[in-house]
Structure 1
């Protein structure tokens, strides 16, 4: 039976009006953001214009502010921005969506000025703007036809020269909710604006570098083309980009969806965008997955399967292998899966094979792979190896030991003092695994007692680490390990 929540509307109503009012008043005294929300709710009793007036004062203050926000006040500042968008959305939005969207656009237009005033490395301030953009899209369906028709002009007035990119984001949020005629006029206005601006910029080329809005406006035209269902215009605009900037996979996917498989095949095979500065070799799993689906649609299932297998051989992608196996007749998939596993175990890139076995998942084969390459694992891979070791502790203690030792050795060899706490934890794990690991360890792998002794000899000055472990505790660990048979490393 589900537990009843400690707080609920009915329970709060039971406190009575006076008690609730006092609680609200007390919290409003402590919390400036909450106080503003309460004031907006009270203003709402006088109608949407009163709420809008209250919001306008806050927006005007935000637009006028120039001082830099110190790091210790950045979180409170971001919370205040979120509170402002919440007020616009929850208090003004239901009563007057057009007025709410006007205020959201005013708020979004402050982003460039605000980002100059605050260090937003946490992303909280930017999240407030994305929240406002999403709210604009959520409110757009509530507009009257006349209000919706006027929205493109309002967006261009507020954000038409914004260099940050939010203009395209707002367009994407509202475009699905606007009348087709409005979208067509908006696209025409953008087309004219691009042509005019390009003429102006051609005359300014000798002035040095400057930011051009035309790329952002062109992106908006593609968003509008999608909303209008005009795939040919979308493609024509994509072709105007430089080849390495074209999103070939997105166009191919749209063409496949539209049943235009032959054209989709041409697009998916174009070089297209680069990944981290490298040209795609045609075997990236995303590209292959799409191209294989296109080949299936054209009826060339044999070529599709050959492509999937070639990609798996190159990238050991679990998703690609699943697609490949789904297309095989019954019982043939079992043999193919075994062949794939054998290929991964023999891979020249064990790290990639390990990720495959984790994704499949086959922890037993992951353990076999790790054991086959005991010195391959980089203890600097702290983002994945501790998780893998944890998964293997119960059934594969020797393999878990290999990984925990790699992690601990990396920390101590590199004197990563900030990670000494993790190192102490890994040593504790090794101690717990010692009994089972020592009894089944392979030739060439030292036992736990010997490993501990070597640590002490190799890193006697790592006092920060030994303090974490506790010298007395370490001696007890060595003593406990020493009471078990000591295995002599076979160097031969």
Structure 2
């Protein structure tokens, strides 16, 4: 009957893949409804299967019944406070995720009930994670999935703004594991201006009260401020976003870049420039030194701000100076693109001269390989072979692969550097790679007419054998490839 109804509705028949004994939807459908029902009833002795079947029956009967059944299960979970043993965690996560998915299914027919249930589920996050030895894992992932899915449900449900803001504040107030900050972003559209303003007022009030009561040592302050920043972004309120950071934090590269990025988007270029200058890496007053990533993020926004405020030449000077410091290919490409016609050719030559002199060999090699300029990469290797860093196996492998066709000597020197590093430091996890590289170097030797100042392959292997004859693991890997050491 079900198959006939489907055909009547114009549905395409299930496509069978493989033999009739392959587990597939089409093959199982061929068993017929009565046979499948008997099988499922027999399997229902398993508690999870039984719960799945019950929820499916409720979903088929009515959305009200399904909502009630989910609500009862969430209430049962909420009443428990015992530790969740590590053996039971997969089953618990599977059960929790089943109810999360059924809530999303319920949202198709009753978004209002689904929103209430999803909020109930999120209410369980902190107390449930408190029952674990570590919050990371499949159980925590269910709550993150619920957090990320609730926004679409809320927009469909069209809830009362103040009530939704109050529920959101309640969840954030118990977010001891700092996972619910994005909830403010997800629910911001559904809350609307009124709800967002109310939630902001609630969070700011709690922050102020806690600061007074706890004298600044508020463990939840980071959670509230994160939510306030997300609300400010949703409302396009840059000043409110900035106000969530302490004055000393605004003078750090990463925070000043985040504020300036928003100012630029709002057309406030001069304000963005002033903010960035106050948080410049050399003048930052943060507790920790500026990381490479933080400096790069700040520099990117600074260049945007300079261009937006008409300081093109200063932006070009910064691009060149930063390129000389980092050999950043995106910065160099942006610099060259902004030059007048024909000037870019001369500037590119100057840039490659900088690369050849760069103190870090591996950074210079990575530049030439990625630019790409393989002749220059080969010359760099031959002139600075003593600086080859065999520890960087990713760079060595990629560079050797790209050079081996036209520049076999340079590729061979890279492989030698990698092999020597592995054997000198006994990096057993790379013995198999080193064995393969030795055979690659042997095949490259036939393509090299003149080794110049470098020993030929036979001499290299002889020196290698003399120094590392006792490396049994390496020898075993070579023998597995049909070679000897």
Residues 437-456 of structure 1 aligned to structure 2 (within 5 Å): 438-443=448-453, 445-456=454-465
Is residue 2:471 matched to residue 1:469?
no
Residues 370-409 of structure 1 aligned to structure 2 (within 5 Å): 370-409=381-420
Is residue 2:186 matched to residue 1:173?
yes
Contact 1:111/1:129, CA 8 A, preserved across alignment? yes
Residues 337-356 of structure 1 aligned to structure 2 (within 5 Å): 337-356=348-367
Partners of 2:209 and 2:112 in 1: how far apart?
Answer: 31
Q: How has the CA–CA distance of structure 1 residues 318 and 193 changed in structure 2, closer, same or farther, with 3 Å as cutoff? A: same
Partners of 1:394 and 1:275 in 2: how far apart?
Answer: 50
1:369 to 370, 374, 380: 380
1:226 to 229, 233, 241: 233
1:138 to 149, 152, 163: 152
Contact 1:149/1:179, CA 8 A, preserved across alignment? no
Contact 1:285/1:320, CA 8 A, preserved across alignment? no
Q: Secondary structure at the match of 1:375?
A: helix
Q: Secondary structure at the match of 2:446?
A: helix
Q: Secondary structure at the match of 1:247?
A: helix
Report how many residues are paired. 456
Partners of 2:66 and 2:146 in 1: how far apart?
Answer: 17
TM score, norm. by length of structure 1: 0.81
| Deviation of the 1:215 alpha carbon | 2.8
Q: How has the CA–CA distance of structure 1 residues 194 and 327 changed in structure 2, closer, same or farther, with 3 Å as cutoff? A: same
2:279 to 241, 251, 271: 271
| Deviation of the 1:253 alpha carbon | 1.0
Range that drifts further, 135-144 or 102-111: 102-111
Partners of 1:366 and 1:302 in 2: how far apart?
Answer: 31
Q: Secondary structure at the match of 1:470?
A: helix
Contact 2:390/2:421, CA 8 A, preserved across alignment? yes
Q: How has the CA–CA distance of structure 1 residues 303 and 240 changed in structure 2, closer, same or farther, with 3 Å as cutoff? A: closer
Range that drifts further, 365-374 or 321-330: 365-374
Range that drifts further, 323-332 or 254-263: 323-332
Q: How has the CA–CA distance of structure 1 residues 241 and 456 changed in structure 2, closer, same or farther, with 3 Å as cutoff? A: same
Partners of 2:240 and 2:103 in 1: how far apart?
Answer: 36
Which residue in 2 is equivalent to 1:102?
116
Q: How has the CA–CA distance of structure 1 residues 404 and 237 changed in structure 2, closer, same or farther, with 3 Å as cutoff? A: same
Partners of 1:67 and 1:201 in 2: how far apart?
Answer: 32
Q: Secondary structure at the match of 2:143?
A: helix
Residues 256-335 of structure 1 aligned to structure 2 (within 5 Å): 256-271=264-279, 277-279=288-290, 284-335=295-346
| Deviation of the 1:275 alpha carbon | 9.4
Q: How has the CA–CA distance of structure 1 residues 233 and 354 changed in structure 2, closer, same or farther, with 3 Å as cutoff? A: same
Is residue 2:85 matched to residue 1:68?
yes
Q: Any idea what the Cα deviations from partners look like across 1:169-209, whole Å, max 9, x if unmatched? A: 2112222343111111111111211111111112xx7xxxx
TM score, norm. by length of structure 2: 0.82
Q: Any idea what the Cα deviations from partners look like across 1:73-122, whole Å, max 9, x if unmatched? A: 76666555554433332x2232233333333334444444437525577x
Which residue in 2 is equivalent to 1:46?
61
Unaligned runs of 5+ in 1: 1-7, 479-492
Q: Any idea what the Cα deviations from partners look like across 1:195-251, whole Å, max 9, x if unmatched? A: 11111112xx7xxxx652123212222211221122222223335564466711011
Q: How has the CA–CA distance of structure 1 residues 312 and 15 changed in structure 2, closer, same or farther, with 3 Å as cutoff? A: same
Partners of 2:294 and 2:30 in 1: how far apart?
Answer: 68
| Deviation of the 1:312 alpha carbon | 1.0
Q: How has the CA–CA distance of structure 1 residues 159 and 20 changed in structure 2, closer, same or farther, with 3 Å as cutoff? A: farther
Contact 2:327/2:355, CA 8 A, preserved across alignment? yes
Q: Secondary structure at the match of 2:165?
A: helix
Contact 2:316/2:335, CA 8 A, preserved across alignment? yes
Which residue in 1 is equivalent to 2:7?
none
Contact 1:261/1:298, CA 8 A, preserved across alignment? yes
Range that drifts further, 456-465 or 181-190: 456-465
Partners of 1:304 and 1:435 in 2: how far apart?
Answer: 50
Contact 1:140/1:174, CA 8 A, preserved across alignment? yes
Range that drifts further, 29-38 or 166-175: 29-38
Q: Secondary structure at the match of 1:284?
A: helix
Range that drifts further, 362-371 or 338-347: 362-371
Which residue in 2 is equivalent to 1:11?
15
Q: How has the CA–CA distance of structure 1 residues 144 and 241 changed in structure 2, closer, same or farther, with 3 Å as cutoff? A: farther
Unaligned runs of 5+ in 2: 1-11, 17-24
Q: How has the CA–CA distance of structure 1 residues 140 and 332 changed in structure 2, closer, same or farther, with 3 Å as cutoff? A: farther
Q: How has the CA–CA distance of structure 1 residues 69 and 352 changed in structure 2, closer, same or farther, with 3 Å as cutoff? A: same
Contact 1:390/1:400, CA 8 A, preserved across alignment? yes
